[in-house]
């Protein structure tokens, strides 16, 4: 249940800013790889450095 909460939160919050978080299945795949430490640097390096506030 906690993993599903993080999946929905990542989809809603990071979806507009990162291509790996565009769809719910892609979010689940990305978060699973981040939990295992597989794709840490490339995922965070692709985030845009713009502040929307």
pLDDT in tens, 17-43: 888 888 888 888 888 887 887 777 676
CA 11, 15, 16: angle at the middle one, nearest 5?
155
Phi, psi of 39, rounded to the nearest 5 degrees: -130, 40
How many other β-carbons are positioned within 10 Å of the β-carbon of residue 22? 14
Kindly report whether the global pTM for this prediction surpasses the value 0.85.
no
Contacts 24+ apart (CB under 8 A), 22-25: none
> What is the structure's pLDDT at 12?
92
Its sign, for the CA torsion 29, 2, 23, 45, is negative
DSSP letter at 9 equals H
């Amino acid at each position: 249940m906690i993993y599903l909460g993080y999946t929905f939160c990542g989809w809603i919050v990071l979806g507009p800013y990162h291509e790996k978080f565009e769809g719910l299945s892609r979010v689940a795949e990305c978060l699973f790889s981040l939990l295992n430490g597989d794709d840490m640097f490339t995922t965070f390096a692709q985030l845009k450095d713009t502040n929307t506030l």
